[in-house]
Amino acid sequence: MKIRLLAGLLALGLAAGCGGAKVEDPTASAAAPQPSSSGSAAAGGTVKIAINPWVGYAASANVVAYLLKKELGYTVELPEIKEQLSWEGFENGTVDVIIENWGHPDLKKKFIEEKGVAVEAGSTGNMGVIGWYVPKWMSEKYPDIVDSKNLNKYADLFKTSESGDKGQLLDGDPSYVTNDVALVKNLGLNYKVVTGGSEAALIKSATQAQAQKKPLLFYFWDPHWLHNKVELTRINLPKWTEGCDADPKKVNCDYPDMDLDKIVSKKFADTGGKAYELVKNFKWTNEDQNAVSDDITNNGMSAEDAAKKWVEANTAKWQAWMPK
């Protein structure tokens, strides 16, 4: 996500983040992206929304996809693509929309400013928060652990077979672009970043850590339904200030809170018609996204059915997004 997902979440992963309860498989119909001659919504009636690997992202994408199909009559493709690779789709025609972008100033510079193949399409309404967390039982038993300056004091608690003689900091999907390796080095922490492999792995580890009172230090994000299910405590890293993360190798500060936005291809913005207007107008809250994510992950619903449930219960909200 996420600055960077990263999961985003997320993402949350998110990544955001990302049907059925399988987090890595947010859409049953998703297929590998292939270049298409139709290219844009206006030309072929098809909108291609990339699905990044975290469930919050899938929640947003599927709500927009449901409205595009049911209210505006478009065909929607939902190819599962890693976060950074999605941006390349703007250039080769395989992606029209990234529905939840976690910062990525480097990719904005490359694909928006330099190549001119993408444009910003406004805020999603979601505030993205990335950080390091421990299960709440740890912050209750060791109150000073919440200050990153004290993490070395507790490094032995977090040792695993993967981290060796250092404490483990658990990350998620390998495609998430995080600052964690640099942070560990630049803050002088006796820890090793270990990649858990997926958003699902992070969720499982966090859930078990709180339930079984196991030590765990891990990277995570909000919006995410997990915060409504498992009590977590965020670690206080050195406060983020403008420019403190400008050089990826020298980052020594916390992640910034982000107003998550949407990115679309320039071609889609120019020719997408009502589909583009809907994407541009789409804006909801962290609570909205978490409700859909929870249904996908925990309530046995397909991504499309979870989107349908939300749409049917929130008519006034989505009608405000519809093209005039």
| Residue ranges of domains in the chain | 41-127+258-317, 129-234
Alpha-carbon radius of gyration of the chain? 19
CA distance linking residue 26 with residue 43, whole number of Å = 27
Residue given tokens 């071609």 in the structure block: 267
> ∠ CA(128), CA(323), CA(12), 5° rounding?
20
pLDDT band at 7 (very low <50, low <70, confident <90, very high): very low
**pLDDT tens digits along 179-191:** 999 999 999 999 9
In angstroms, how far is CA 30 from the centroid of its own chain?
18
Question: In terms of C-beta density within 10 A (0-12 exposed, 13-18 middle, 19 or more buried), how is residue 324 classed?
Answer: exposed
In this prediction, what percent of the chain has a pLDDT beyond 70? 86
**Average pLDDT along the chain:** 88
One fold for 41-127+258-317 and 129-234 = yes
Residue given tokens 């919504």 in the structure block: 41
Whether the CB-CB separation of 80 and 53 falls below 8 Å is answered with yes
State the number of CA atoms in the 13 A half-sphere of 26 facing the CB. Answer: 38
Number of helices (H) and strands (E) in the chain: give both, helices first. 12, 9
What is the CATH code for 129-234? 3.40.190.100
Task: Supply the pLDDT for residue 175.
Answer: 82
Task: Supply the pLDDT for residue 177.
Answer: 76
What's the token pair of residue 263?
A: 């990115």
CA distance linking residue 111 with residue 26, whole number of Å = 26
Residue 125 host element (H or E): strand 118-135
**pLDDT tens digits along 34-89:** 333 333 444 449 999 999 999 999 999 999 999 999 999 999 999 999 999 999 99
**pLDDT tens digits along 119-133:** 999 999 999 999 999
Q: How far is CA 22 from CA 199, 237, 298, in A?
A: 10, 32, 9
- Strand 258-265 and strand 118-135: the pairing is antiparallel
What's the token pair of residue 318?
A: 């989505």
Nearest to 26 by CA among 227, 263, 199, 178: 199
| All residues at 6 or more sequence positions from 127 whose CB lies less than 8 Å from its CB, including other chains | 222, 223, 257, 258, 259, 260, 286
CA distance linking residue 53 with residue 203, whole number of Å = 13
CA distance linking residue 226 with residue 220, whole number of Å = 10
Nearest to 151 by CA among 160, 137, 138: 138
Task: Supply the pLDDT for residue 1.
Answer: 56
Whether the CB-CB separation of 278 and 63 falls below 8 Å is answered with no
CA distance linking residue 178 with residue 316, whole number of Å = 37
What is the CATH code for 41-127+258-317? 3.40.190.10
- Strand 232-234 and strand 258-265: the pairing is unpaired
pLDDT band at 257 (very low <50, low <70, confident <90, very high): very high
- Strand 46-48 and strand 75-77: the pairing is parallel
CA distance linking residue 36 with residue 44, whole number of Å = 9
How far apart, in Å, do the first and last CA atoms of the chain sit? 33
